[in-house]
Amino acid sequence: MSVADLELGVTKLTRPQIARRAAELIPDGSFVNLGIGIPTLAANVMPAGKDVVLHSENGILGVGPTPPEAERDRDLINASKDYVTLLPGGSYCVHSDAFAMIRGGHLDLALLGAFEVAGNGDLANWTTGDRRFPPGVGGAMDLAVGAKAIWVLTDHTTKKGEPKIVNACKYPLTAKGVVKRIFTDLALIDLTEDGLLVREMVPGLTIDALQAVTEPKLALAEDWQELAAA
């Protein structure tokens, strides 16, 4: 258990477990983009029998799981530059067509990482504004405005224990008001018209303890469930 775990007295989800919970909730038949970070892990933990078509913005539709080391192909990588495979039915396309799919509203869902998410759905995930390091926007802004729904997958707090779900983003925005759902190592939270609604929490966590590491006001869903690690 880490220090943070000890403080909260609960076992947090691992990064693959966060990805797995998101993967479980992706509707069957969806076209989905997996952003850099925790989201890309979802390709390896997709529930068996779920027919989801994964999109990678460098020009792949129908991304499959990570290959064994011996089968790596330097021409077959995803947007995170990780080795991937192609599923039967998958295809390659030019970069501009991959982004036509994104901007044109053809993706049902994009799973993105975040530096910060605000209660109003604002997303910041491309620069901390630190001028010592070059920023990198990649496809984040296109995905944020283009996909029909945006889910964020992130640790609940920074390494220092500060909230990443905030009242207002301090970092430069990626897009305004786009996030619909947040999966963290502690909880599953929906961004609704009435505010943040907690759907799931890890075993042992209380809403008060969760609120203590979250800036915007949280409400607990009547039918909330335990966020079980798969």
Partner 1 sequence: MPIDKITPSVTEAVQGVKDGMTIMISGFGFAGVPNDLIHGVLDSGAKDLTVISNNAGTGTEGLAALVGSGRVTRIICSYPRSKGSDLFDARYAAGEIELELVPQGTLSERMRAAGAGIGGFFTPTGAGTELAAGKETRMIDGREYVLEAPLRADMALVQAQEADRWGNLLYRKAARNFGPVMAMAADLTVVQVKRIVALGEMDPEAVVTPGIFVDRVVHIDNNREWDI
Enzyme catalytic residues: 57
Q: Which stretch binds partner 1 (CB under 8 A): 112-120, 141-149, 180-188, 199-207?
A: 141-149
Q: In the bound complex, what is the minimum distance in angstroms from residue 99's beta carbon to partner 1?
A: 3
**Residue 45 identity:** V
Structure tokens at 135: 């920023």
With CB under 8 A as the contact rule, the residue among 69, 89, 159, 194 that binds partner 1 is 89
Place of tokens 């933990």: 45
Query: Which H or E element spans position 152?
Result: strand 150-153
Q: Of residues 155-194, which lie at the interface with partner 1 (CB under 8 A)?
A: 172-176
Q: Which stretch binds partner 1 (CB under 8 A): 60-68, 188-196, 200-208, 213-221?
A: 60-68
**DSSP string computed for 2-53:** -HHHHHHTSPPPPHHHHHHHHHHHSPTT-EEEE-TTGGGGGGGSPPTT---E
Q: Which is nearer to partner 1, 68 or 89 (CB)?
A: 89
**How far is the C-alpha of 188 from the C-alpha of 220, rounded, in Å?**
11
Question: Where do contacts with partner 1 occur on this chain (CB under 8 A)?
Answer: 28-29, 31, 49, 51, 53, 55-62, 73-79, 81, 86, 88-96, 99-107, 127, 132-142, 145-146, 172-176
